Amino acid sequence: MHFDHEWNAGDMGCGELVLELGMKLKQYESGAVIKLTALDPGAREDIPAWCRMTGHTLIESEHPTYYIRRRQK
């Protein structure tokens, strides 16, 4: 899978994780793909839900790896 940016969030809890992820994505161009590694077990449900709520696209996920496309501005 092609990606433009990569972030290893380690075992960061999902509350902090989605806040940090949102700030990171704001720095990237529209349509950029980020490869996220998130070890927290809650990420399985939280990352897809966060993407649906924020308009970013979850391209592919297999815990602990998630590929997310930044929404258009």
Instruction: Specify whether the CB–CB gap between 57 and 73 falls below 8 A.
Output: no
18-69: CATH number: 3.30.110.40
The ranges assigned to domains in the chain are 18-69
CA distances from 36 to 20, 39 (A): 11, 10
Q: What is the pLDDT of residue 54?
A: 97
Q: Per-residue pLDDT tens for 13-71? A: 989 999 999 999 999 999 999 999 999 999 999 999 999 999 999 999 999 999 999 99
pTM over 0.85: yes
